[in-house]
Amino acid sequence: MLRSLSGRFLILTAIFVMLAEVMIFVPSVARYREQFLLDRLQRAQIASLGLLSGGEVSADLEEELLRNAEVFNVVLRRDEARQLVLSSPVPAPVSQSFDLRDPSAVTLIRDAFRRLAQADPEVIRVIGEPVRMGGLLIEVTLDTADLRAAMVDYGLRILWLSLVISVFTAGLLFVVVQGFVVRPIRRVVGTMQAYAADPEDARLVITPSSGITELREAEESLHSLQRQLTAALKQKEHLARLGGAVAKISHDLRNILTSAQLFTDRLELSDDPRVQRMAPKLVNSLTRAVHLCESTLAYGKAEEPAPTLARHALSEIVADAIEGERLAAGDHSLRFENRVAADLMLTADAEQLHRVLTNLLRNARQAILRTRQPGRITVTAETGSQNWIIRVEDTGPGLPAKARDHLFEPFRGGASSGGTGLGLSIAAELLRGHGGTLTLERSDETGTCFRLTLPRTNFPAAS
């Protein structure tokens, strides 16, 4: 009970209502004491009216008048003269005097609680103004026993009333909190628990329905988070299945490529100059394909192996990648330009950098070929103070907006209708393995430019 939200609301409400009642109780008790004493002054004034007309009363009647007024004696001041109107023996000396003609609230509260704290009865003098212009001043002496008893009785009645109000108010708030706060929260928690048991089931995603603004915002945020998580889990499952399929394909493809590599070795013995010129490139391409298949089988996961770093001439890697894409372009009027300085050396994994460049060149080639217009693909490089910067620029139609929004996400960043978006995702991952980055520098109707950044940190060359 105490650990629940509604239970704590119940207890706190009771406490706060009691505190509010205490704040009301303090001035009300002071007011009750003041009214009690004023009532005694009025009774005393009424009891003395007969004597003020000049008549005389017997001792028994005077005693009865004082007993009805519940005072010991009455003094009136009229025309600057004090007159003892009614009197009787006072059982004890007067201990205190209280002037009720113009008391402050603080004074009334202080005197009231002093009276409650004083258990022993005392004789006090009370001074006030007579009602209906009955004189300048009236004084009475009285015993405080009845005053304190009446104040205690009044305080207990206020206390019980406060308890009833507190319990009633807390109960109402408990019901309201249960209906408007606790139940919606429990519904959200129940939905979260059901979703946690099967986060891939889109039917378990919460549907915002609360009428409370704060809970509605929480439900909407949870709805968005669950949808994103469900989509990510489905994509992860898709990638896992794809990884298993790729591993199987790579196993068989490696065997096929190994056989093709053996046949290609025979081509190098041919006397045909064109065959002799093309055979080494074919052998290199097959070797890279076999190595890629072996890497896929060795790791069996989506992560790329760590790069094997060494010093390489960038121009040669670019030329090799361009040559393969030039052959794929066939007779189309597409120009490839390698503007990398021949003496520019960098530290990288040549195979992985070749894959990065090949992915970018292939995307650029396919984009230009789809336009059926002449085009140009240019590769440039420069050496910065801390990085090597390589740019692959084309004169194609530019990337569509959807592709730019999810550029490096697999299965979402494809530029063409049949593309998977894996090429750029793989290229970005390979560069991250080098400590570098792949960014889209520009893409509009005049073409696209990708920027590759590789750090110039002196990596130790792999043995």
pLDDT tens by residue, the chain, 463 residues: 556 666 777 777 778 877 877 788 888 889 999 999 999 988 888 887 766 655 566 777 778 888 888 899 988 887 767 778 888 888 889 999 999 888 899 999 999 999 988 888 999 999 988 877 666 788 999 999 999 999 999 988 888 887 888 788 878 877 887 777 778 888 888 888 888 888 877 788 888 887 778 888 888 888 888 888 888 887 777 777 766 666 656 655 655 565 565 556 666 666 677 766 776 767 677 677 766 666 665 544 445 678 889 999 999 999 988 987 887 787 678 999 999 999 999 999 998 999 899 889 988 998 898 888 899 999 999 999 899 999 999 999 988 877 777 787 765 545 554 445 667 888 898 999 899 999 999 999 899 999 999 998 755 444 3
Query: Are 408 and 428 spatial neighbours (Cβ–Cβ below 8 Å)?
Result: yes
444-458 as b/e, with b when 16 or more CB fall inside 10 Å? eeebbbbebbbbeee
**What is the reported pLDDT for 290?**
65
What's the pTM?
0.44
Cα–Cα nearest to 37, from 63, 62, 67, 70:
70
Identify the burial level of 334 via C-beta atoms within 10 angstroms of its C-beta, where 0-12 means exposed, 13-18 middle and 19 or more buried. buried
Q: Which domains does the chain have, with CATH numbers?
A: 5-169 (no CATH), 307-455 (3.30.565.10)
Q: Identify the helix (H) or strand (E) that includes residue 265.
A: helix 213-267
The one-letter amino acid code at 324 reads G
**C-alpha–C-alpha distance, residues 75 and 27, integer Å:** 29
**What is the reported pLDDT for 155?**
86
Tokens 């490139």, residue located: 281
Tokens 């074919």, residue located: 282
**C-alpha–C-alpha distance, residues 425 and 328, integer Å:** 22
The one-letter amino acid code at 24 reads I
Computed over its alpha carbons, how large is the radius of gyration of the chain?
50
Query: Are 446 and 381 spatial neighbours (Cβ–Cβ below 8 Å)?
Result: no
CA 114, 115, 118, 123 torsion-angle sign: positive
Tokens 């005197």, residue located: 111
Tokens 């991952």, residue located: 429
**C-alpha–C-alpha distance, residues 97 and 330, integer Å:** 120
**What is the reported pLDDT for 10?**
73
Q: In sequence order, what DSSP letters do the residues of 398-449 get, joined into one string?
A: ---HHHHHTTTSTTT--SSTT--SHHHHHHHHHHHHTT-EEEEEEEETTEEE
**C-alpha–C-alpha distance, residues 408 and 324, integer Å:** 24
Query: Are 162 and 132 spatial neighbours (Cβ–Cβ below 8 Å)?
Result: no
- Cα distances from 40 to residues 46, 71, 184, 259, in angstroms, run 10, 7, 59, 123
